[in-house]
Chains A and B, each alone.
Chain A
């Protein structure tokens, strides 16, 4: 069974600094997707970034980028120039290509210090 592990229950960073959230996963599949979702206090689930496993290039979305290490089954999220609005619970998630159900990690609560 596929599993996703986020080993950092909580992280904090100073505003304007850079922070990296860690995620590892376990799968025997070769084609899959990895995601980071953000859940602010409003409880919405917001897609931050997606990575296709067959792509070697790391995905980026503005201040958000990932470090995808397929052999190590590692998928970390880097947030640059942290802003107060980035404060949220961040979930790493996995899906098999075509199956699409998401398997989530336990989440990392990110606090931004002004």
Chain B
């Protein structure tokens, strides 16, 4: 158990819809990262939050947004969903200069 909790584990929805993925970091970790794992793109960094503030953006679509709340949990919002958004979405957390520990991921399927 990595200590990083992601919910839900699975999500099935239709094109055009909007979903929210949730992540609770390990106790004491201020940094939260979101990654997308798809068959064609591999593992791609989306966004990094540190103590509530956005620190870095990767290949994140404009239809996607994220935030980190005062209790340090984070949410990734995906809107106007397309078939190509089907993927495994990982959240990871870390302390300063420590390795990232990953949650079990949310598998998103777009029908």
Q: A residues bordering B, Cβ < 8 Å? A: 33, 35, 37, 42-47, 50, 91, 97-107
Question: Is B45's CB under 8 angstroms from A101's CB?
Answer: yes
Residues of B within 8 A of A99 (CB): 56
- Indicate if the CB atoms of B48 and A100 lie closer than 8 Å: yes
B108 lies within 8 A of chain A by Cβ: no
Query: What B residues does A101 contact at CB under 8 A?
Result: 33, 45, 48, 56, 58
With A35-B99, A43-B88, A97-B97 as contacts: A102 and B104 at CB distance below 8 Å: no
* B31 lies within 8 A of chain A by Cβ: yes
Which residues does chain A contribute within 8 Å of B92, judged by CB atoms?
A: 45, 102
CA A99 to CA B33, docked complex, whole Å: 11
The answer to whether B94 and A44 touch across the interface, beta carbons within 8 angstroms, is no
Q: Is the CB of B100 within 8 A of A102?
A: yes
Q: Which residues of A contact B56 (CB under 8 A)?
A: 99, 101
Does B28 sit within 8 A of A, measured CB to CB? no
Please, which residues of chain B bring their CB within 8 A of the CB of A46?
A: 2, 102
Contact A45 B90 (CB under 8 A): yes
B26 to chain A minimum Cβ distance, whole angstroms, is 12
- Say whether B101 faces chain A, with CB atoms less than 8 Å apart: yes
A97 to B99, CA, bound (A): 11
* Given A35-B99, A44-B104, also A104-B94 (CB < 8 A): no
Question: How many angstroms between the C-alpha atoms of A42 and B104 in the bound complex?
Answer: 9
Partner of A104, one of B42, B48, B101, B105: B42
Q: Which residue of B lies closest to A104 (CB)?
A: B43
List 20 other contacts, CB 8 Å, given A44-B104, A45-B102, A104-B44.
Answer: A37-B102, A44-B2, A44-B102, A45-B90, A46-B102, A47-B99, A50-B99, A98-B97, A99-B56, A100-B31, A100-B48, A100-B97, A101-B56, A102-B43, A102-B92, A103-B45, A104-B42, A106-B42, A107-B42, A107-B43
The contact string, 1 if C-beta is below 8 Å from chain A, for chain B 27-46, is 00001010100000011110
A46-B102 Cα distance, complex, nearest whole Å: 7
C-alpha gap A24/B12 in the complex (Å): 37
Among residues 40 to 94 in chain B, which have CB atoms less than 8 Å away from a CB atom of chain A?
42-45, 48, 56, 58, 88, 90, 92, 94
